Amino acid sequence: MDARRVTRAVPRVRQVGFFTPNAPPEQPGPVRSQSGPPNSNSPPLSGSPASNSLSPVMIPPPRHLSDNLGARTGAVPVPGRANAGDHATVGSYNPADSVLGLESPPPTRIGDGESSEETESSLGWYRRNNPAKFASSFPGGGFDLSPVKQPEIVSGVEAKNQPPEKNEVQKGQASSSKPSKAKTTKAERRALQESQRAAKAASKAEANKSGGGAASSKTVKQPSQKKDAPPVASSVATSERIGVDRPAEKERKKDVPPPRMQFDDESRVGKAKRRSVLNQTEARNSIELFRHLPPHKNGTQLPYLESKFFELHDKHPAVYKVGLQYLTGDLSGGNARCIAMLQAFQEAIRDYSTPPEKTLIRDLTSKIGGFVSFLIECRPLSMSMGNAIRFLKSRIAKLPPILSESEAKAALCSDIDRFINEKIVLADKVIVRHAATKIRDGDVLLTYGSSCVVEMILLYAHELGKQFRVVVVDSRPMLEGKKLLRRLVAKGLSCTYTHLNAISYIMHEVTRVLLGASSILSNGTVYSRVGTASVAMVAYAYRVPVLICCEAYKFHERVQLDSICFNELGDPDAIAKVPGRVDVNYLDNLSDKQKENLKLLNLKYDATPSDYISMIVTDYGMIPPTSVPVIVREYRKEYLLI
Amino acid sequence: MPDTQALVNDFLNQLKKRKIEGSQATAKQTAELLRSVISQTRVPYTNQAGALIDSVKAVGERLIAANPVELAVGNIVRRVLHIIREEDVSLTTAAMAGLNLSAVSDDEDDADRDDRPVLSAAAVAAASRSTLRPPSLQTLLEDVPDSAAVPHTSSSGGDSEGKSKSADKSSRSRKLKHDVIEAVNELIQDINTCHEQIAEQAVEHIHQNEVILTLGSSRTVLEFLCAAKEKKRSFRVFVAEGAPRYQGHLLAKELVARGLQTTLITDSAVFAMISRVNMVIVGAHAVMANGGVIAPVGLNMVALAAQKHAVPFVVLAGSHKLCPLYPHNPEVLLNELRSPSELLDFGEFSDCMDFGSGNGAPLLHVVNPTFDYVPPKLVSLFITDTGGHNPSYMYRLIADYYSADDLVVQRRPTSGN
């Protein structure tokens, strides 16, 4: 029953920060029907004296949900306050925000985004007050279906009563929830089963939560269902069993990220191979230490995959294209990859039509799952992409079933757009403005590799007229710094280019180190392009502050202590060859025996310990690495429910 | 001596153009050059050692100026000077011992050594070292009376003693030169064999199933690892490629050819891999008197990572790499910037190197240093041909090889003759 305590504690806090002014009156219609039991919980809370006193535990709502943040003084994320050093600037969130307001995403846009969001967000908040954890745990989107059960049932009843031809008309209009539902009895049964399962789960959850009240609601709901659909009784039973199998305590365990596939686990690798699309080449003399990681798939698979294009019917062309881009390495960079993936999914969703006898929610989820596993085959996902996929899946799961297919698709597409816009584009803008306050005249800024956020920061600071110099540090085999260097020089920034080994030499003159990140883990470890750790270490040794610039959607609740447990392997052959250096050809012609002894390791990422990091600049402000778990914990739910 | 002059000029050119790679080759060639300089030097009857020292200094000064970063040149010049002084002292003491009757020893060292049996120059040098004699050789040389030329038995044999005074003088001068050349030959021999002597100690440091990381290429490291391999130790080696010269590829190839399990990694992966490494073994460019190391670029990063993960950082250095100077701002003053073409293709970036734009300064700079300075606190152990040493002991080890008078290799204008 401690689960109950947790679920109550969280809503109380939320309620204070956001809900009091307008929530109860404007609950949207469909939700209200279901809101009975949770409401029995929440009103005493909102009425409680805690509503107006800002308790230290209070977590203010995420800022993007209410962009008119200037009015709210307590808008600074709590973690920021913990950081004594950066207190002042963290506190100066509002100025930055106002700058943001003046700038390109015009206030009108934000405004109308907000107004259109108004219902949506309050709905979101409302749901969070409900036992959101329960809801998120049902893959079929169980809980949220329950409110909608009534209209559905009605339509079902209508369908039964109406003559078949009218049925067809209704389907054409798509006026009721799902087109497929009214068509055949099988589909109908399925839909009913679906809704019943959801209701079951919901009532189960509520029963767990608040014993008596929910029990009564259950008793109210149950008979109506049974009455409507006697033939589905057996399936109800099965669904009930599934529901029983998930006690509420386990819901919290869902927060623990599932274990990743370990590639030294032969049985699972075998299974994966059978499923896989690509040719699984046996990794040539793989390194023992990295057996657990998937071997690199190089571009030589491209023709093979291209030839299979017409066999892979289930892969949408857009997804297919993105996959090939991953495979060949044409598309790199966390944000670019994530945006490309989301846009491909968006396109796939636009072209999607629910096959007969299937429901959109389940079929689309499995479809997306298929896309994702295809993309994983092309290149392992970054953690930020995992977050984005989780977001998308939860959006699909939470689609109200009353929506018609086209509405649902439009909702999903706009969700994806919103995610890209808010979590990546706007977040970058905020980060840029934050970080620019840390750049002073005469600074020498060092960056490693090529991070798009850092590049934006540098260009923005340059536009502001700050006088500074940039040191671009680069390393093999990616040599991403060259491209960054070219872009910066073209914009007129004064740059120094060097390689990673010279970092100790160049660090003497550096005053700030700005680094990007692929992901930030909840123990403060920064998971980033290999070499970042070395740069941060040397900077730490020379007492140069290290600023990590990273969007909050890349934060992940995993933890990692070294760079070996999880990583990504690059193309080993890229190590042996040094392009542009004809004199370095020592490894060109080795005998077979020599090749057996020689192993080439091309790691893509490494984990920077949090000791080396002075500050993380993210869209919620500037925080110390110790505050990462706070951000992860408090804002994870939010982006699942945007 | 035109041929010496030509040799010197040739070597100077090579040094200036950085044609000679590696401190061992430089040291060897320097020693050979100085040997020929010594053999060509015509020594006067009086103060022969002074004349030799002067001529060596004259050449040495130019050699050091030709490539001040290649500390091995200076080391060898100083060692040769030291050899001359030692040989001279030993000859003088031998003469004193031969005299024996006239106890005119105004030097307490000579008095001390009067009763000792006359040994080889090396033994005397060792003895003088062991007594920590203050190195006021110049005064010693000037105080030694020429009358000390009395027939004496030669320690190393070979020289027959002359009857007359002049004949004796010439024989002594010849003997000094001869001894010095012998000693320089020994030095060259030492430089040649320092790899083997260091490699002999490998089994004491590498045990079974060890994982060793190294960066770049060093012949000493190669020999060291192979010596352990020959002793049937099986271990794995991670080789970081060592941009921008990628000598690590070369080392990896050599190691693989000798049957060692080798993994080649990028320099950026050093931090990621070092948590699984038992020992870092690297070569050095030079070892300073404070125990700091001038090493190929990138090693400071490796040393910091090793310190973070408490991995021993072992530096292999032949004795010709021991430099008696204390470094000041070595990252800059003892460094050298190489060509940017190793990092950037000029053709690719030629449009960015436009000096005419803006305020006249180019927007793009490329920094490509050759060396890194590893401070002594990051080094766990030095392995030289005389055994393993702590960084804090290096100053003492170095004092064995050099005389304090030679720390600044410049001819004093007053002492010129």
Residue pair B283/B229 in contact (Cβ under 8 Å)? The answer is no
* Mean pLDDT value across residues B138-161: 49
| pLDDT tier, A280 (very low <50, low <70, confident <90, very high otherwise) | low
Of A450-454, B48-52, B411-415, minimum mean pLDDT range: B411-415
Reply yes or no on whether the pLDDT at A80 is more than 60: no
Going by DSSP bridges, is the β-strand pair A615-618/A621-623 parallel, antiparallel, or unpaired? antiparallel
Please report the number of interchain residue pairs, chain A to chain B, with beta-carbon separation below 8 angstroms.
189
Phi, psi of A375 (to 5 degrees): -65, -35
Encode pLDDT of A29-65 as tens digits. 444 444 334 444 444 443 344 344 333 333 444 444 3
Q: Is B257 near chain A, with CB under 8 Å? A: yes
Residue among A482, A490, A563 whose CB faces B272 most closely:
A563
**In the prediction, which pLDDT does A590 show?**
83
**In the prediction, which pLDDT does B354 show?**
62
Q: Give the count of beta carbons closer than 10 Å to the beta carbon of residue A189.
A: 16
| pLDDT tier, B137 (very low <50, low <70, confident <90, very high otherwise) | low
- Cβ contact B331–A289 (<8 Å): no
**In the prediction, which pLDDT does B297 show?**
94
Residue pair A431/A438 in contact (Cβ under 8 Å)? The answer is no
Integer CA distances (angstroms), A438 to A94, A513, A614, A617, in order: 16, 11, 12, 10
Q: Is B261 near chain A, with CB under 8 Å? A: yes
Give the H or E element holding residue B84: helix B71-99
3-class DSSP state of A261:
coil
- Cβ contact A505–B367 (<8 Å): yes
Instruction: Write out chain A residues lying below 8 Å of B69, CB-based.
Output: none
Going by DSSP bridges, is the β-strand pair B387-389/B381-384 parallel, antiparallel, or unpaired? antiparallel
- Cβ contact A586–B343 (<8 Å): no
pTM: 0.72
Mutate to test the interface with A, among B229, B237, B271, B367 (most CBs of A within 10 A): B271
Residue among A287, A533, A590 whose CB faces B272 most closely:
A533
- Altogether, the residues listed in chain B come to a count of 417
Q: Closest approach of chain B CAs to the CA of A538, in angstroms? A: 7
| pLDDT tier, B94 (very low <50, low <70, confident <90, very high otherwise) | confident
* Mean pLDDT value across residues B116-127: 51
Amino acid at A73: T
Reply yes or no on whether the pLDDT at B151 is more than 60: no
Encode pLDDT of A213-238 as tens digits. 444 444 444 444 444 444 444 444 44
Give percent helix, percent strand, percent coil of chain A, each to the nearest 5: 60, 10, 30
Residue pair A515/A448 in contact (Cβ under 8 Å)? The answer is yes
- CA angle B169-B170-B176, nearest 5°? 90
**Cα diameter, chain A:** 84
- CA angle B118-B123-B128, nearest 5°? 95
Task: Kindly tell me the sign of the dihedral angle through the C-alpha atoms of B64, B67, B73, B75.
Answer: positive
**In the prediction, which pLDDT does A586 show?**
85
Alpha-helix runs per DSSP H in B17-68: 23-40, 48-66
Burial (CB count within 10 angstroms: exposed 0-12, middle 13-18, buried 19+), residue A329: middle
Using the 8-state DSSP alphabet, how is residue A619 labeled?
T
**In the prediction, which pLDDT does A582 show?**
81
Q: Closest approach of chain B CAs to the CA of A5, in angstroms? A: 42
Instruction: Write out chain A residues lying below 8 Å of B335, CB-based.
Output: 505
**In the prediction, which pLDDT does B97 show?**
81
- What percentage of chain A exceeds 70 in pLDDT? 55
- Cβ contact A606–B271 (<8 Å): yes
**Nearest residue to A207 via CA among A176, A244, A234, A239:** A244
Q: Is A597 near chain B, with CB under 8 Å? A: yes
Chain A stretch 343-382, residues whose beta carbon is closer than 8 A to a beta carbon of chain B:
none
Encode pLDDT of B4-13 as tens digits. 889 899 999 9
Only one residue has tokens 């006898």, namely: A357
- Cis peptide bond prior to B330, omega within 30° of 0: no
**In the prediction, which pLDDT does A109 show?**
39
- Cβ contact B264–A599 (<8 Å): yes
Only one residue has tokens 């050449």, namely: B59
**In the prediction, which pLDDT does A149 show?**
42
Residue pair A196/A239 in contact (Cβ under 8 Å)? The answer is yes
Task: Kindly tell me the sign of the dihedral angle through the C-alpha atoms of B74, B77, B79, B82.
Answer: negative
Task: Kindly tell me the sign of the dihedral angle through the C-alpha atoms of A26, A28, A29, A30.
Answer: negative
Q: Closest approach of chain B CAs to the CA of A476, in angstroms? A: 7
Instruction: Write out chain B residues lying below 8 Å of A477, CB-based.
Output: 266
- Cβ contact B304–A537 (<8 Å): yes
Kindly give, in sequence order, each residue whose CB lies less than 8 Å from that of residue A75, ignoring residues fewer than 6 positions away.
Answer: A60, A63, A69, A93, A94, A97
| pLDDT tier, B73 (very low <50, low <70, confident <90, very high otherwise) | very high
Q: Is A432 near chain B, with CB under 8 Å? A: no
Beta bridge partners of B278: none
**Nearest residue to A278 via CA among A366, A375, A345, A369:** A375
- Cβ contact B271–A489 (<8 Å): no
Q: Closest approach of chain A CAs to the CA of B366, in angstroms? A: 5
Q: Closest approach of chain A CAs to the CA of B196, in angstroms? A: 25
Q: Within 13 Å and on the Cβ side, how many CA atoms surround A151?
A: 17
* Mean pLDDT value across residues A365-385: 89
Q: Closest approach of chain A CAs to the CA of B303, in angstroms? A: 10
Of A125-134, A277-286, A538-547, minimum mean pLDDT range: A125-134
- Mean pLDDT of chain B, nearest integer: 82
* B312 token code pair: 């021993």
Greater model confidence, A97 or A329: A329
| pLDDT tier, A412 (very low <50, low <70, confident <90, very high otherwise) | very high
Q: Is B243 near chain A, with CB under 8 Å? A: yes
Instruction: Write out chain B residues lying below 8 Å of A468, CB-based.
Output: none
Reply yes or no on whether the pLDDT at B375 is more than 60: yes
Amino acid at B220: T
DSSP of A163-185, one letter per residue?
-HHHHHHHHHHT-SS-TTTTT-H
Phi, psi of B131 (to 5 degrees): -85, 0
Instruction: Write out chain B residues lying below 8 Å of A594, CB-based.
Output: 253, 256-257
Reply yes or no on whether the pLDDT at B55 is more than 80: yes
* A80 token code pair: 């920021």
Only one residue has tokens 């990859």, namely: A337
- What percentage of chain B exceeds 90 in pLDDT? 46
Greater model confidence, B265 or B112: B265
Chain B stretch 340-379, residues whose beta carbon is closer than 8 A to a beta carbon of chain A:
342-345, 348-349, 352, 358, 361, 363-369, 372-373
Cα gap B386→B397, rounded to integer Å: 9
Residue pair B278/B350 in contact (Cβ under 8 Å)? The answer is no
Greater model confidence, A68 or A589: A589
Burial (CB count within 10 angstroms: exposed 0-12, middle 13-18, buried 19+), residue A579: exposed
Q: Give the count of beta carbons closer than 10 Å to the beta carbon of residue A191.
A: 24
* A553 token code pair: 């959607």
* Mean pLDDT value across residues A89-101: 36
Q: Is B337 near chain A, with CB under 8 Å? A: no
Instruction: Write out chain B residues lying below 8 Å of A529, CB-based.
Output: 268
Residue pair B26/B73 in contact (Cβ under 8 Å)? The answer is yes
Cα gap A393→B80, rounded to integer Å: 78
Encode pLDDT of A181-197 as tens digits. 444 556 566 666 666 66
- Cis peptide bond prior to A257, omega within 30° of 0: no
Encode pLDDT of B241-270 as tens digits. 998 889 999 999 999 999 999 999 999 999
- Cβ contact B304–A541 (<8 Å): yes
Q: Show the domains of chain B with their CATH numbers.
A: 2-192 (no CATH), 201-335+370-416 (3.40.50.10470)
- Altogether, the residues listed in chain A come to a count of 642
Give the H or E element holding residue B364: strand B364-366
- The helix-helix angle for A2-14 and A107-129 (nearest 10°) equals 150
Cα gap A571→A332, rounded to integer Å: 14
Residue pair B224/B289 in contact (Cβ under 8 Å)? The answer is no
Residue among B268, B363, B368 whose CB faces A493 most closely:
B363
- Cβ contact A482–B344 (<8 Å): yes
Task: Kindly tell me the sign of the dihedral angle through the C-alpha atoms of A90, A94, A100, A105.
Answer: positive
- Mean pLDDT of chain A, nearest integer: 70
SS3 of A16-43: HHHHCCCCCCCCCHHHHHHCHHHHHHHH
Cα gap A454→A436, rounded to integer Å: 10
Task: Kindly tell me the sign of the dihedral angle through the C-alpha atoms of A184, A190, A193, A197.
Answer: negative
Integer CA distances (angstroms), A181 to A170, A351, A359, in order: 11, 20, 8
